[in-house]
Amino acid sequence: MSRLFNFCAGPAALPQTVLERARDEMLDWQGRGLSVMEMSHRSEAFISIAEQAEADLRSLLAIPDHYKVLFMQGGASSQFAMLPLNLGGQGGTANYIYTGIWGQKAIQEGQRYLPTHLAASSEANGLTRVPTPSEIQLSTDAAYLHYTSNETIGGLQFDYIPEVSDDLPLVCDMSSDILSGPIDVSRFGVIYAGAQKNIGPAGLTLVIIREDLLDRAQAQTPTMFQYRVCADHASMYNTPPTFAWYLAGLVFDWLKNEVGGLEAMAQINQRKAARLYHTIDTLDFYSNPIAKPNRSQMNVPFRLADASLEKTFLKEAEAAGLLNLAGHRSVGGMRASLYNAVPEAAVDALTAFMTDFAHKWG
């Protein structure tokens, strides 16, 4: 077996021990004589898996009791619509901070279901730094304020949580940085994330929502999209993505018991990102345009001084066992995603390769 280093932005690397455990339990989950994929979601066995996953997530993120955890489907992209539908029942204007492509998609979808207001934007600085707190200007009738804590394509990450009044729900798309370190959940009304980066395999979408926000849905909200319905049915109104939920549970267990929690995870992530940015900054051959305080710890885009070498870089990287370093198809260049399951050894191998490549071609 040879597992290579995978820098994919998502679906992303999973911890090897998680995959090994899933393999070991594949045919016969804990002596029940069947795999998790073949179990009824209503069975006592699966409900124990589901409840353990939620309990571990709650303990990792220290989620307060008055928040519900929803295991949904449809990806973060579906949340772009579910949010205005679920939070817009009392009218008002959906407020957004624009810092990149994913926030833009959230705004475009939000406009279909509520009037929207751009509370702040990074457009004027070319999406290279996040707005300062004083640049955030809310509309008077805001229904919520939405932002993207980490723009996966641009590699732009908030270094603070926007301050809002108690009665305004702060909504955050944390798809690409959830679980990369501790967060103060109590600052948020809703947190959501597609699973396929730091949580588990694709197919599962996590929503963490303060309970008092469950009853603000617009009347036409489809039953399956209603947070209240999902919460009241313990995320099993219909058949949930059981195997993805199980694997997410194994990832939470890994974070808790092998990594040692989110403080420890954050330290590892800081080391990884620092090492890669150091290589980019010390070699003229590479560049990253993002303002230093907002450089993403999870997704590191970079360019070569000579763009004509990009294909060669990717080809040689792959030959060296470094996979998925191409930038998003909409922006080109390179991007290394350093999610939780990407080991420090992967970053060591990448920076060594980058140094050699720069000396060879620079």
Binding-site annotation, residues for L-glutamate: 42
Q: For residue 56, state whether it binds ligand PMP (rule: CB under 6 A).
A: no
Rounded Cα distance, 197 and 341, in Å: 9
The region of 17-25, 60-68, 69-77, 162-170 touching ligand PMP under the rule CB under 6 A is 69-77
Which token pair is 303? 């360019």
Which residues belong to the annotated binding site? 42, 76-77, 102, 152, 173, 196, 238-239
| Catalytic residue check, 311 | no
Q: For residue 176, state whether it binds ligand PMP (rule: CB under 6 A).
A: yes
Least distance from C-beta 284 to ligand PMP, angstroms? 30
In single-letter form, the type of residue at position 346 comes to A
Cβ closest to ligand PMP, residue 9 vs residue 22: 9
Torsion of CA 260, 262, 267, 273, to 10 degrees: 130
Q: How do beta strands 170-173 and 142-148 pair?
A: parallel
Handedness of CA 29, 34, 35, 37 (dihedral sign): negative
| Catalytic residue check, 173 | yes
- Angstrom CA distances, 117 to 2, 127, 142, stand at 50, 18, 8
Q: For residue 180, state whether it binds ligand PMP (rule: CB under 6 A).
A: no
Query: 172 φ, ψ to 5°?
Result: -130, 130
What is the full DSSP assignment across 215-255? T---TT--GGG-HHHHHHTTT-SS---HHHHHHHHHHHHHI
Out of 75, 169, 240, 249, point to the residue binding ligand PMP (CB under 6 A): 75
Of the candidates 29, 56, 68, 102, the residue annotated as catalytic is 102
Of the candidates 197, 245, 254, 272, the residue annotated as catalytic is 197
Q: For residue 175, state whether it binds ligand PMP (rule: CB under 6 A).
A: yes
Q: Pattern of binders to ligand PMP over 118-157, x per CB under 6 A?
A: ------------------------------x---x-----
Interface with ligand PMP by CB under 6 A: which residues?
10, 75-77, 102, 148, 152, 173, 175-176, 194
Catalytic site positions = 102, 173, 197
